[in-house]
Chain A
Amino acid sequence: MNRKLICIICPRGCQLTVSGEKDNLTVTGHACKRGQVYAIDECTHPVRTITSIVRVSNREDCMVSVKTATPVPKEAIPQVMAAIRGMTVQAPVKTGDILAENIFGSRIVATKDID
């Protein structure tokens, strides 16, 4: 493998190069360790944190923002979005409240307070 990618862990955006075989990948171009981990993950099993909104059913025109508490597999994004779209919640909601368990290995948590 010889793949160039841009690290997206932090806004510095280092240009990374991944080379080698599947179990023995080497990364160059990273300014910190997180970039190295990211590059190997990205080439073996890419993941993303998904953020969206869920309707608050007992408040008028009210949405609460949510996220996957941990990153989910990139190829599962459409199914994760479909699961989130199917949800509703009841206020009050607090930041960090768990709104769903085990959606492709992650919890869906609220990222905003709704009184």
Chain B
Amino acid sequence: MIKHDIVIVGGGPAGMAAAVAAYDRGVTDVVIIDREDTPGGILRQCIHNGFGLHKLGQELTGPEYATVYAVKVAERGIKVYTGTTVLSVTQDRIVTATGREGIVQIQAGAVVLTMGCRERSRGALNTPGTRPAGVFSAGTAQKLINIDGYMPGKKAVILGSGDIGLIMARRMTLEGAKVEAVCEIMPYSGGLTRNIVQCLEDYDIPLYLGTTVVEIHGKKRLEGVTIAQVDENRREIPDTRRYIECDTLLLSVGLVPENELTIAAGISMDRVTGGAIVDENCHTEISGIFARGNVLHVHDLVDYVSDEAERAGCGAADYVKNGVQAGEYIPVKAVGGVRYVIPQHINRNATGEISLFMRVAQPSGKARITARQGETILATATKLKTAPGEMEKLIIRPGLLGTGEITVEIEQL
């Protein structure tokens, strides 16, 4: 069996950032395994700009952002096994993969899971109607257009106002298609504000909130969709049906962390995030296995993915050098309006700054998010507005951590 100190599963932005960070922390025997022929993950098809403003201080397109990290990986001589799919990861850190050289088994000192996420599919939506061609996930359409140079259709309706759906509304329009509408079942958009402005308002594409597709029409090819408004329980409001002729329906209805390997390895999962339960170093409950990036919780900005994945890389490097960190774990709980917090627990002996990442359940105006341990306020931040689509962050300064459960909550101001 081959041996490597650190094996990184997935060569997207999280994997590359984790690899570079681990290397720079002094563990140089790091390899990345990626199933595609070129590392970079989903960024390769995200040709729009807006990446890197926070992390790199410049505005880049997705492929450019990926290249910045691919260069860092190459400069350090970190090996990337491309075209190689990981089949399993075991609790004693044996990684089995299949690729150009057949099946390989690697005994890893530490494993970092950075498999990213995938789109929720039509099957998960249960839309009634026929099953014609012309129904794509937004990401599939993005790949068809941006990687393969193939237009999926001429007249489109987009269901879901997640960022990929908004980006694709603009992209289809720029390539000459007519985007009739973006329908969002929730009363607010799941995408970043800037994408609503830049992708919809710039091109006069209507966004219908509280509206969904209730029927799909067409035998061979999609001919149209029926949309209708929904009430607060997401049930159709009678007499609001409207038919829209279109040959393409793009679904942008959410992302799910791609955790088959994690679950098969028997790693404890968080029901809300769909990712593993981790500590402040992205360490899962299985010794030596770390997870970060969209496989842990879905992010809205790649800049944050890179930032956080560096922590996983450092965590893995420290584990390889020093073994497991001793100390009891303090649980971190999301309460009152906060949907989840990562990490789910913190080692009592943690040193240095600890970052908490969270999403709120509902959009709100001015609000304060506070992390408390008993009577002690560990960290607090005031936000002018919050939305489920925008991740929030609190930083606990060194030396504040005491004992007992930590709660994170939001109060309206």
Contact = CB atoms under 8 A, between A and B. Distances in A.
Interface string A31-57: 000000000000000001111110100
Contact of A8 (B61, B174, B198): B198
Interface stretch (B16-24, B146-154, B224-232): B146-154
A10 B53 contact: yes
Contacts of B49: 49, 51, 67
Contacts of B286: none
Contact of A63 (B64, B147, B202, B390): B147
Interface in A46-89: 48-53, 55, 61-63, 65, 67, 74, 77, 81
A92 interface: no
Contact of A53 (B149, B192, B300, B301): B149
Contacts of B59: 49
Contacts of A97: none
B155 to A, nearest CB: 18
A53 B47 contact: yes
Contacts of A111: 47, 60-61, 63-64
Contact of B63 (A8, A11, A81, A112): A112
B197 interface: yes
A95 interface: yes
B67 interface: yes
B147 A95 contact: no
A13 B61 contact: no
Contact of B174 (A52, A65, A95, A113): A52
Given A10-B53, A49-B49, A63-B148, A81 B174 contact: yes
Nearest to B192: A11
Interface string B158-198: 00000000000000001100000000000000001110111
A113 B67 CA distance: 8
Nearest to B390: A11
A52 B47 contact: yes
A52 B50 CA distance: 14
A115 to B, nearest CB: 10
B361 interface: no
Nearest to A62: B149
B67 A112 contact: yes
Contact of B301 (A7, A11, A13, A63): A11
A2 B175 CA distance: 34
A8 B49 CA distance: 12
A98 interface: no
A95 B63 contact: yes
B145 interface: yes
B35 interface: no
A6 B146 contact: no
A12 to B, nearest CB: 9
Contacts of B174: 50, 52, 77, 81
Given A53-B146, A111-B63, A74 B47 contact: no
A55 B149 contact: yes
Interface string A7-31: 1111101100000000000000000
Contact of A11 (B145, B147, B300): B300
A51 B194 contact: no
Interface of B: 44, 47-50, 53-54, 59-64, 67, 145-149, 174-175, 192-194, 196-198, 202, 300-301, 384, 390
Given A63-B149, A95-B63, A112-B44, 5 more contacts: A7-B194, A8-B198, A11-B50, A53-B47, A63-B146
22 contacts: A6-B193, A8-B193, A9-B53, A10-B54, A10-B194, A11-B300, A14-B384, A48-B202, A50-B174, A51-B47, A51-B48, A51-B61, A52-B47, A53-B149, A63-B146, A63-B148, A65-B62, A65-B63, A67-B49, A81-B174, A112-B63, A112-B67
What 10 pairs across the A-B complex have the smallest Cβ distances? Answer: A13-B193, A65-B47, A8-B194, A112-B63, A63-B149, A111-B61, A111-B63, A111-B64, A51-B47, A8-B197
